[in-house]
């Protein structure tokens, strides 16, 4: 378990003698060591998120079991993303005696909510209105925009930010829960797992009453289905040394667990489609109980990969270290931009309505070409946005000088 900061006992205040120097100000909290493995975890997670979006956009998403079976496993990236969020926040703030919820919210939420609102308006205006020939209807359709903003649906990836805002709002409570249950974290994890199993079961097998229909159909855009991974990440931050020791030498075990849980998830999906009448493109598949073991193992495996690289290879691979640091720093704005890039890359169509790039490049090369192009163009766009006034509100990151940074 990681060490806990010990606060000194309060001393009785004393009055300084006349002519003596005023007491020195209290030292600022020590800055915690930078965790380089988190950069690789963040880079891998966002790269896989963009890949699954590219995969489903360039293949037969609604008719191919292969596409949906593959995408099912990659949907674990959303959970890894939230586990990473819980880990980073808890690592930064758990043992800080000067932590204040209001200061945390004031500093953190603006870095998400402003880009969320800006990009919601942009995506709705371009993809929702301009692309469908309704640009002139924008002034009279603001209620539609508000409806999309309130559920994170202005674009299919923006619910990530919507959930992140909820995590930030709840973080002071999560922090207090983790701190007060030290010594009983297995019980906390067990309760969270039981809640997760209950939530997944209800999502897949319970029909809500009419009054809950809207909320239930948007449950994926709330923190509820991801709470286990958030708690798992938060606890991992508090026990990172012990976890790092346990993971060492267990790469083969994690590989077999990934294979076994992946086969379970895909096999259950195929069974549901072939024998239970489930649709091929089932929106409830990412919340099936049979996927949950893979989600947990995938999160642990990605973390273990990052930790292994940072511990044994980072210093011997300086070029890769620079690339990882660069990609990690740009990952959030690239995530914001990439769906817009995908939209314009795939907008040209052939005479019979097929996406031009997909129709003219054989698979799987078409998907790989679009993926690499999306990453490259998104990075180029981000480099421009990061150097504009208001970069903080467009990208959630501070403005960069007008010079190359890599």
pLDDT value at position 32? Answer: 80
Q: How confident is the model at residue 22 (pLDDT cuts 50, 70, 90)?
A: low
Task: Of 228, 226, 285, 301, give the one whose Cα is nearest residue 45.
Answer: 301
Q: Where is average pLDDT lowest: 80-84, 193-197, 203-207?
A: 203-207
- Domain assignment of residue 30, yes or no: no
Tell me: the pLDDT tens digits for 346-404?
Answer: 999 888 888 899 999 999 999 999 999 999 999 999 999 999 998 998 998 888 887 76
Q: What is the pTM of this model?
A: 0.88
Tell me: the pLDDT tens digits for 93-152?
Answer: 998 999 999 999 999 999 999 999 999 999 999 998 999 888 888 888 899 999 999 999
pLDDT value at position 4? Answer: 40
Overall average pLDDT of the 155-161 stretch: 94
Task: Of 337, 377, 383, give the one whose Cα is nearest residue 357.
Answer: 377
Give the domain extent around 90: 36-395
Q: How many CA atoms lie within 13 A of 398 on its CB side?
A: 2
- Domain assignment of residue 171, yes or no: yes
- Domain assignment of residue 400, yes or no: no
Tell me: the pLDDT tens digits for 298-339?
Answer: 999 999 999 999 999 999 999 999 999 999 999 999 999 999
pLDDT value at position 337? Answer: 97
Task: Of 293, 364, 373, give the one whose Cα is nearest residue 66.
Answer: 364
Q: Cβ(41)–Cβ(84) under 8 Å?
A: yes
The total domain count for the chain is 1
- Domain assignment of residue 328, yes or no: yes
94-104 burial by CB neighbour count: b if 16+ within 10 A, else e?
Answer: bbeeebeeeeb
Angstrom distance (rounded) from CA 36 to CA 405: 18
Alpha helices in 94-126 (DSSP H): 101-108, 110-123
pLDDT value at position 21? Answer: 52
Residue 349 phi, psi (nearest 5): -130, 160
- Domain assignment of residue 27, yes or no: no
Q: Is the backbone peptide bond immediately before 10 cis, with ω within 30 degrees of 0? A: no
Overall average pLDDT of the 20-48 stretch: 78
Angstrom distance (rounded) from CA 306 to CA 304: 5
Overall average pLDDT of the 194-199 stretch: 97
pLDDT value at position 1? Answer: 44
- Domain assignment of residue 3, yes or no: no
- Domain assignment of residue 174, yes or no: yes
- Domain assignment of residue 334, yes or no: yes
Q: Where is average pLDDT lowest: 83-87, 99-103, 206-210, 258-262?
A: 206-210
């Amino acid at each position: 378990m990681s060490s806990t900061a010990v606060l000194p006992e309060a001393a009785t205040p004393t009055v300084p003698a006349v002519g003596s120097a005023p007491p020195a100000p209290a030292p600022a909290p020590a800055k915690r060591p930078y965790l380089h493995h988190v950069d690789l975890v963040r880079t891998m997670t966002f790269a896989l998120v963009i890949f699954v979006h590219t995969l489903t956009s360039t293949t037969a998403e609604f008719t191919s079991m292969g596409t949906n079976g593959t995408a099912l496993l990659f949907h674990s990236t959303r959970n890894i993303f939230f586990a990473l969020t819980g880990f980073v926040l808890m690592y930064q703030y758990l043992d800080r005696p000067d932590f204040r919820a209001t200061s945390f919210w004031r500093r953190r939420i603006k870095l998400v909510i402003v880009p969320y609102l800006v990009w919601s308006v942009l995506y709705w205006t371009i993809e929702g209105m301009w692309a469908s020939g309704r640009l002139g209807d924008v002034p009279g359709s603001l209620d539609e925009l508000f409806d999309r903003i309130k559920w994170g649906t202005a674009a299919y990836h923006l619910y990530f930010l919507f959930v992140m805002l909820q995590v930030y709002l709840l973080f002071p409570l999560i922090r207090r829960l983790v701190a007060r249950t030290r010594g009983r974290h297995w019980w906390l994890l067990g309760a969270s797992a039981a809640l997760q199993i209950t939530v997944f079961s209800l999502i897949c097998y319970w029909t809500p009453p009419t009054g809950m229909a809207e909320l239930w159909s948007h449950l994926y855009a709330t923190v509820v289905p991801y709470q286990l991974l958030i708690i798992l990440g938060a606890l991992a931050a508090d026990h990172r040394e012990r976890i790092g020791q346990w993971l060492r030498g267990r790469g083969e075990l994690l590989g077999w667990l990934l294979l076994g849980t992946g086969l379970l998830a895909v096999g259950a999906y195929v069974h549901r489609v072939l024998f239970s009448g489930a649709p091929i493109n089932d929106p409830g598949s990412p919340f099936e109980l049979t996927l949950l073991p893979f989600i947990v193992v995938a999160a642990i495996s990605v973390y273990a990969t990052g930790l292994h690289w940072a511990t044994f290879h980072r210093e011997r691979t300086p070029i890769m270290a620079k690339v990882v640091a660069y990609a990690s720093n740009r990952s959030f704005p690239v995530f914001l931009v990439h769906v817009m890039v995908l939209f314009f890359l795939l907008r040209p169509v052939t005479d019979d309505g097929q996406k031009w790039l997909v129709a003219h490049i054989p698979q799987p090369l078409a998907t790989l070409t679009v993926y690499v192009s999306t990453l490259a163009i998104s990075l180029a766009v981000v480099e421009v946005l990061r150097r504009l006034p208001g970069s903080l509100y467009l990208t959630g990151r501070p403005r960069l000088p007008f010079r190359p940074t890599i």
